[in-house]
């Protein structure tokens, strides 16, 4: 019997505006864009921020993604639509795209199509909309709608954000993904709407742009949430895994690390969204697996380094062993271990810095995002993302 598998890929995770800053390199600076490949072959794109350009470049050809792709736009603020003119598959005539979002009271009928075409209008862009040869269909939906695409059930609900925003629940045969970015808690009716949307989700992607202190003071009314509200809601509705999303442009990687640590102290399964992160639903043995493939790897070193690694096994036992660290980048590394560490647990890695002849050892910390059985039954291949 074939096990249904869904893959959720993160192409843009930053909120409000893109960042090009070494301090935000590890989590990424592109604005929101996710790709969901359902078990029945249906292709979904969630939002069209600057991450959309990278997604288009990664498809095998300009015709990539299959004959039809379904694009859900949560709302029309700039950071969620600014990738549209730069998505190369829109310029290939064999492609067909179905767009879904709401009718804005500021734009009226055909709001979604107006927003799409305005991206290419003079004087904002030098190429006319007529250059986009792909077939495009637009469907206006509302916060109470529910419908099917292939074998997948789609539910839309209103969220609390200036000028309106939709959250989406996509139920696939492999599991349920809820995408609820740009939402501020505090409106009783819309809070209940979000609870309904997130109930029992395998993956709950929630806005975590601000700290609780910011939301209680200077950022109140701006339409965003915190790690704490995400944790509280995930626990309340029985969501299995929480993903912190829509990182503030002023939040450095270390800031996001801190928010993640606080969230993980209060909820068992939490990830901070990072460009290149892929979550697999429905894999044998685990409901959710997440890993960082070799993207953004221009700074990766192919050499292998001897290291000492300590952590906690899946059974809760502390371990320490000497091993090899390879495929190391600023973002993370792949480590061969005899012990099986706990997914999302913290590992401490001490290794010789390149070119120092054993002096000045490097001491790093990271959390486990991927566990693979190696060809050698005695070892496990462990992927970690550095936090320090």
- Both 313 and 287 in a single domain? no
Would you say 66 and 94 are in contact if contact means Cβ atoms under 8 Å apart?
no
The reported pLDDT for the residue numbered 297 is 39
CA-based nearest residue to 36, from 331, 278, 302, 345: 278
The reported pLDDT for the residue numbered 346 is 87
| Enclosing domain of residue 45 | 6-291
- Both 275 and 328 in a single domain? no
Cα within 13 Å of Cα(50), Cβ side: 16
Tell me how many domains the chain contains: 2
- Both 119 and 201 in a single domain? yes
- Both 280 and 322 in a single domain? no
**Residue 103 covered by a domain:** yes
Would you say 371 and 311 are in contact if contact means Cβ atoms under 8 Å apart?
no
- Both 154 and 274 in a single domain? yes
pLDDT digits (tens, 9 = 90+) for 246-302: 999 999 998 999 999 999 999 989 999 999 899 999 865 555 666 654 444 334 444
Rounded Cα–Cα distance for residues 378 and 104 (Å): 58
- Both 314 and 252 in a single domain? no
- Both 270 and 316 in a single domain? no
The three-point CA angle 166-167-171 to 5° equals 135
For 250, residues 6+ apart whose C-beta sits below 8 A from its C-beta are none
**Residue 126 covered by a domain:** yes
- Both 91 and 130 in a single domain? yes
Q: Which two tokens stand for residue 332?
A: 């993370």
CA-based nearest residue to 59, from 25, 79, 33: 33
- Both 264 and 341 in a single domain? no
Q: Answer whether the bond into residue 121 is a cis peptide, omega within 30°.
A: no
Q: Give the 3-state DSSP-derived string for the chain, with helices as H, strands as E and coil as C.
A: CCCCCEEEEEEECECCCCCCCHHHCCCCCCCCEEEEECCCCCEEEECCCCHHHHHHHHCCCCCCCCCEEEEECCCCCHHHCCCHHHCHHHHCCCCEEEEEECCCCCCCCCHHHHHHHHCCCCCCCCCCHHHCCCEEEEEECCCCCEEEECCEEEEEEECCCCCCCEEEEEEECCEEEEEECCCCCCCHHHHHHHHHHHCCCCEEEEECCECHHHHCCCCCCCCCCEHHHHHHHHHHHCCCEEEEECECCCCCHHHHHHHHHHHHCCCCCEEECCCCCEEEECCCCCCEEEECCCCCCCCCECCCEEEEEEEEECCCCEEEEEEEEECECCCEEEEEECCCECCCCEEEEEECCCCCCCCCCEEEEEEEEEEEECCCCCCEEEEEEECC
Q: What is the CATH number of the domain that holds 146?
A: 3.60.15.10
Tokens 């269909």 locate to 137
Rounded Cα–Cα distance for residues 327 and 14 (Å): 26
For 59, residues 6+ apart whose C-beta sits below 8 A from its C-beta are 65, 88, 89
**Residue 63 covered by a domain:** yes
Query: Which regions in the chain score pLDDT beneath 70?
Result: 1, 60-67, 283-304, 326-327, 329-331, 353-360, 372-377, 387-388
The reported pLDDT for the residue numbered 299 is 40
Tokens 């039954």 locate to 377
- Both 11 and 69 in a single domain? yes
- Both 210 and 330 in a single domain? no
- Both 279 and 336 in a single domain? no
Please state, in angstroms and as integers, the Cα–Cα distance from residue 73 to each residue in 120, 130, 164, 307, 365, following that order: 17, 22, 12, 45, 37
Burial of 26 from C-beta contacts in 10 A (0-12 / 13-18 / 19+): buried
The reported pLDDT for the residue numbered 11 is 95
The reported pLDDT for the residue numbered 331 is 61
The reported pLDDT for the residue numbered 113 is 87
258, 291, 324 — which closes off a domain? 291
The reported pLDDT for the residue numbered 111 is 78
269, 291, 313 — which closes off a domain? 291
**Residue 240 covered by a domain:** yes
The reported pLDDT for the residue numbered 192 is 97
């Amino acid at each position: 019997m074939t096990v249904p598998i869904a893959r959720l890929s993160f192409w843009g995770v930053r909120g409000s505006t893109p960042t090009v800053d070494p301090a935000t390199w590890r989590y990424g600076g592109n604005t929101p864009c996710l790709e969901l490949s359902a078990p029945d072959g249906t292709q979904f794109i969630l939002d069209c921020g600057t991450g959309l350009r990278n997604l288009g470049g990664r498809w095998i050809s300009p015709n990539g993604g299959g004959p039809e792709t379904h694009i859900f736009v949560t709302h029309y603020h700039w950071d969620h639509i600014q990738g549209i003119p730069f998505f190369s598959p829109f310029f290939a005539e064999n492609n067909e795209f179905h767009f879904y979002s709401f009718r804005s009271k500021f734009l009226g009928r055909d709001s979604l199509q107006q927003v799409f075409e305005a991206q290419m209008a003079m004087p904002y862009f030098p190429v006319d909309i007529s250059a986009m040869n792909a077939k495009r269909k637009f469907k206006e939906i509302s916060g109470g709608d529910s419908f099917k695409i292939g074998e997948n059930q789609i539910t839309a609900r209103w969220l609390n954000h200036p000028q309106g925003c939709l959250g989406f629940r996509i139920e696939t045969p492999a599991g349920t993904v809820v995408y609820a970015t740009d939402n501020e808690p505090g409106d009783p009716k819309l809070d209940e709407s979000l609870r309904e949307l997130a109930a029992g989700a395998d993956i709950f992607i929630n806005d975590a742009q601000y700290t609780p202190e910011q939301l209680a003071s200077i950022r109140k009314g701006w339409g965003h949430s915190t790690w704490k509200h995400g944790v509280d809601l995930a626990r309340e509705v029985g969501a299995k895994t929480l993903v912190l999303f829509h990182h503030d442009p002023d939040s450095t990687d270390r800031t996001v690390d801190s928010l993640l640590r606080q969230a993980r102290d209060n909820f068992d399964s939490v990830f901070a969204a990072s460009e290149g992160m892929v979550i697999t639903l429905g894999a044998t043995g685990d409901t959710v697996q997440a890993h960082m493939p070799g993207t953004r790897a221009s700074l990766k070193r192919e050499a292998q380094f001897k290291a000492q690694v300590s952590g906690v096994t899946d059974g809760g036992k502390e371990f320490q062993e000497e091993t090899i660290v390879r495929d190391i980048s600023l973002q993370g590394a792949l480590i061969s271990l005899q012990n099986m560490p706990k997914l999302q647990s913290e590992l401490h890695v001490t290794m010789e810095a390149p070119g120092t002849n054993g002096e000045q050892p490097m001491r790093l910390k990271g959390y486990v995002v991927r566990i693979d059985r190696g060809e050698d039954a005695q070892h496990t291949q462990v992927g970690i993302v550095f936090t320090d």
